[in-house]
Amino acid sequence: MKISNIKGAIKDFFRSSQVKKVAAFVFFTLLMTAIIASQNYFFQDIIENGISKRDIIAQKTLTVEDVKKTEQHRKDVMQKVDPVLVPAEDGFIENNLQTLRTSIVQIRKKEAAASVKKEELGILFDITDTYKKDFVINVLLHSDDTSLNEIFEKASLTLTNILNKGITEKDYENGDIDRIIINNMVSNVSRRQVSVIRALLEQVIVPNLVEDEVATENARRNAMNSVKPYIITFQKGEKIVFEGEPVTRLKRDALRKAGYNVYELNWQGLAALYVLIFIATSLFLLYMKQFEKQFLEENYLSISGVLAIIMALISTLMPVGFSPYILPFPAFIFILAIFTNSRVAFVASTMLLAVLSIGHQYNIQFLSTFVFLNLVSTIAISRIRFSKRIDLIKTGFEISLAGVIIVFSIYLLEKCLIDVSNVLILTNVGLMLINGVMSAIIALGTLPLFESASKIITPYGLAELADHNQPLLKRLQFEAPGTYHHSLMVANLCEAAAEAIGANPILARVGAFYHDIGKLKRPLFFVENQSYFGIENPHTKLNPRLSKMVITAHPKDGVEIAKEYGLPPIIYNFILQHHGEGLASYFYNQAVKEEGVENVKEEQFRYTGPKPNMKETAILMIADAVESAVRSLKNPTPEEIEAIINKIIIERLNDTQLADSPLTLRDIKTIAATFSRILRGMQHNRIKYQENIVEELNKNKINMGKVLDEDLENKIKELEGTQKQPEPKEKDNGIDDSK
């Protein structure tokens, strides 16, 4: 392969759009990493390998939690909490005593030798002391029934006392059962009975309290949470760290409170930060590709990237110790939502918030506050109609109030756990009160700059273009008044239809205003202007092909004029697409008459297009044809209006002019109904005046004049007769006497 071919292939590779997108992605992620990481180098200037390189003095009083001591204290308190014990199955131990009693009674009643009975009773008792065992067996064997019953009754009462207090595994393991029995023994028990009762209960007693693991865990957690944190205070002017001192976790937290970023970023740290930004940016692009494909164009992504970079710069360059609650996240959402939509703005702001919070070590209170605030801002901006710029300021004020409530609530909850400075709370609440209004002002001030740089029109820009004092509309009004009036009527139709089907009504209206500006190049060649200027139709002197070239050139001429006047590119779509690739049927039919159908092709008499590919431009195509057709009728009935609307829509559908538009059949039906309603209002009937109305008005005027003259003469005569009297202040017949 030749070297020239290799160079050409390399040039083509780097010129391809895919490579440019990858390059832009890499550049953005690297730039964001560099901006966020730059703040960490300030920390590297004072700390090296965990050792302070110089003395660092507190510029204000700082309170810092000693996390290590607090955690250790919490562990100690948690370990000291005894297990929570609950009673085991009821009646189990009592049943054991009753079973033992039944066995003893049965042995006593047996017809057997005393030695056999003693042996069987010995099996029931596990007593190591032989003398004690023999004593208990003899008492149980030789006592009369009354004494035996008394022993068991007192044993049962003693057992009840013991079980009410409970026996734990620890008691059992420590051999405390004998002590527990003695301490809970009922009164009026002889020494002889005590020994027997102890022996009986020792055989049946088992632990009746077991540990409730869930309750124990909750008790330990509550005990741990009740521990107040160890707070260390550094007074203003006090040294936080000394030169050569190891920087512990406590000192790092104090430095962070003082405004220092305490990450010591090496290459590994930088790589980790880049990966985080890479992931966040990729997730945002995946979201856009999946749900917001219409905003994947270069201009929209450029605005998102520039706004993110500006926010990163602001957060990085903020003075040391300054509260991050002043960061204008609402402004970020305002601007991005106005250029795209509120969903894109929320996703982008959330990704950016996560990256900045990790990169700059913002606390959880800040992160929580701005997650809520970003959601509030997103909802608020989605409800603005963009009719007045002051609405954005009002929304900013509402967001400020919401931010104040959020911050105050979070700090109020935190104050229940740790001691939070009231000054800190008031400072951050005040900053939140400023933030929303300030963000709205920033958004309003920077919108024109972003509009101009990106060539994307916003609702506010559309509102400005809709002003009839715009130079281009003023020129259209004076140079092509018929076209201007036609554009106004079409704009009304488009706005109403767009509103009805959920399209952009402001964009539809403004696009309709400018769709025919190409007619300014040759205004007298269009019939709506000829009647205004009272001239003969110049097409009568031209052949159909030349007339077609003049007429079908107005979309192309319109784009040239739009570029000359700096109109945004989206308006070009309305200019170029409002006729699509439609047929200039009047001149086509005229050519067929003159040249014969075999010598004329439809393609030669079609507009150059393209076909409408937006809802708004598709509405304009139908509205443009419908308004012209209805205006050509004299006093049309509602049925005639509806018929002509349906006829035009069917023609456009059959000619596939709406094939590229996203309109559904339901949308088209709604558009037709809307047009019919609006046009019926425009063509309303008027009361017919009498034919001799002018003559009657003239007669009345003459008669009224005579009456007024006679009254005036009479007044003058009265005044001449009463010159010495003061001038009257009253009026007669509507005429002031002083005059």
Degrees (nearest 5) of the Cα angle 362, 367, 370?
A: 125
**pLDDT band at 91; cut points 50, 70, 90:** low
What are residue 232's phi and psi, to 5 degrees?
-110, 135
Least confident of 29-33, 228-232, 330-334, 371-375: 228-232
Q: Closest Cα partner for 46 from 243, 237, 239?
A: 243
Q: Closest Cα partner for 441 from 397, 480, 410?
A: 397
Least confident of 37-51, 555-569, 601-615, 688-702: 688-702
Tokens at residue 133, please? 């065992």
Q: Is residue 541's pLDDT more than 90?
A: no
Task: Scan for tokens 């936080």, then name that residue.
Answer: 240
Residue 738 pLDDT: 33
Degrees (nearest 5) of the Cα angle 394, 497, 486?
A: 100
Buried b (16+ CB within 10 A) or exposed e, 520-557: bbbbbbbebbbeeeeeeeebeeeebbebbebbbbbbeb
Residue 225 pLDDT: 78
361: left (phi over 0), alpha (psi -120 to 50) or beta: left
Residue 76 pLDDT: 83
Task: Scan for tokens 């070239």, then name that residue.
Answer: 549
> Can you give the C-alpha Rg of the chain in angstroms?
48
Tokens at residue 46, please? 């004072």
Q: What's the number of CA atoms in the CB half-sphere (13 Å) around residue 663?
A: 33
Residue 620 pLDDT: 97
Alpha helices per DSSP H over 258-389: 267-291, 298-317, 329-339, 342-359, 364-382
CA distance 298 to 226: 55
Q: What is the mean pLDDT of the chain?
A: 83
**pTM for the predicted model, two decimal places:** 0.63
Q: Is residue 642's pLDDT more than 70?
A: yes
**pLDDT band at 116; cut points 50, 70, 90:** confident
Residue 705 pLDDT: 47
**pLDDT band at 635; cut points 50, 70, 90:** confident
Residue 86 pairs with which residues in a beta bridge? Answer: 210
Residue 720 pLDDT: 47
Residue 264 pLDDT: 58
Residue 463 pLDDT: 86
**pLDDT band at 710; cut points 50, 70, 90:** low
Tokens at residue 80, please? 């000291």
Which range of 42-51, 516-525, 533-542 scores highest in mean pLDDT? It is 516-525
Question: Mind listing the pLDDT tens digit for each residue in 295-335?
Answer: 988 889 999 999 999 999 999 888 766 789 999 999 999 99
Average pLDDT over residues 184-212: 78
The Cα-based distances of 142 to 30, 110, 137 in angstroms read 99, 13, 8
Alpha carbon 68 to chain centroid, angstroms: 38
Q: Is residue 2's pLDDT more than 60?
A: no
Residue 695 pLDDT: 58
Residue 719 pLDDT: 43
DSSP per position, 141-162: HHS-HHHHHHHHHHHHHHHHHH
Residue 122 pLDDT: 80
Least confident of 131-135, 343-347, 482-486, 544-548: 131-135
Report the 10 Å Cβ neighbour count for 352.
Answer: 25
Question: Mind listing the pLDDT tens digit for each residue in 328-372?
Answer: 999 999 999 999 999 999 999 999 999 999 888 788 889 999 999
**pLDDT band at 723; cut points 50, 70, 90:** very low
Residue 546 pLDDT: 92
More confident residue, 359 or 85: 359
Average pLDDT over residues 58-63: 77
Average pLDDT over residues 666-680: 95
Q: Look up residue 736 and give its amino acid.
A: D
Q: Helix, strand, coil % (nearest 5) of the chain?
A: 70, 5, 25
Containing 233, the helix (H) or strand (E) segment is: strand 231-234
Helices 67-80, 213-225: crossing angle, 10 deg rounding: 140
Residue 732 pairs with which residues in a beta bridge? Answer: 735
Tokens at residue 723, please? 């010159």
Q: What's the number of CA atoms in the CB half-sphere (13 Å) around residue 239?
A: 10
Percent of the chain with pLDDT over 70: 85
Least confident of 112-126, 162-176, 582-596, 621-635: 162-176
Average pLDDT over residues 589-607: 92
Q: Is residue 532's pLDDT more than 60?
A: yes
**pLDDT band at 150; cut points 50, 70, 90:** confident
Residue 734 pLDDT: 34
Query: Where does residue 213 rank: exposed (0-12), middle (13-18), buried (19+ CB within 10 A)?
Result: exposed
Percent of the chain with pLDDT over 90: 44
Q: What's the number of CA atoms in the CB half-sphere (13 Å) around residue 413?
A: 9
Which range of 14-18, 76-80, 91-95, 719-723 scores highest in mean pLDDT? It is 76-80
The Cα-based distances of 681 to 332, 438, 675, 677, 686 in angstroms read 44, 45, 10, 6, 12
Residue 98 pLDDT: 83
Residue 6 pLDDT: 57
Average pLDDT over residues 594-622: 93
Degrees (nearest 5) of the Cα angle 538, 539, 540?
A: 90
> For the chain, what is the largest distance between any 2 Cα atoms, rounded to a whole number of angstroms?
166
Q: Is residue 603's pLDDT more than 70?
A: yes
**Residues near 294 by Cβ (< 8 Å), separated by ≥ 6?**
none
Q: Is residue 45's pLDDT more than 80?
A: no
Question: Mind listing the pLDDT tens digit for each residue in 156-197?
Answer: 888 888 877 777 777 766 777 777 778 778 877 777 788 888
Average pLDDT over residues 597-605: 91
Containing 643, the helix (H) or strand (E) segment is: helix 638-654
Alpha helices per DSSP H over 383-523: 390-415, 422-454, 459-465, 471-479, 481-501, 505-514
Residue 89 pLDDT: 59
Q: Is residue 500's pLDDT more than 80?
A: yes
Q: Is residue 718's pLDDT more than 60?
A: no
Tokens at residue 726, please? 């003061």
Q: Is residue 669's pLDDT more than 60?
A: yes
Q: Is residue 66's pLDDT more than 60?
A: yes
DSSP per position, 48-62: ETTEESS-EE-SS-E
Residue 698 pLDDT: 56
Domains of the chain plus CATH, in order, are: 85-211 (no CATH), 267-456 (1.10.1760), 461-682 (1.10.3210)
**406, 373 in Cβ contact below 8 A?**
yes
Residue 722 pLDDT: 42
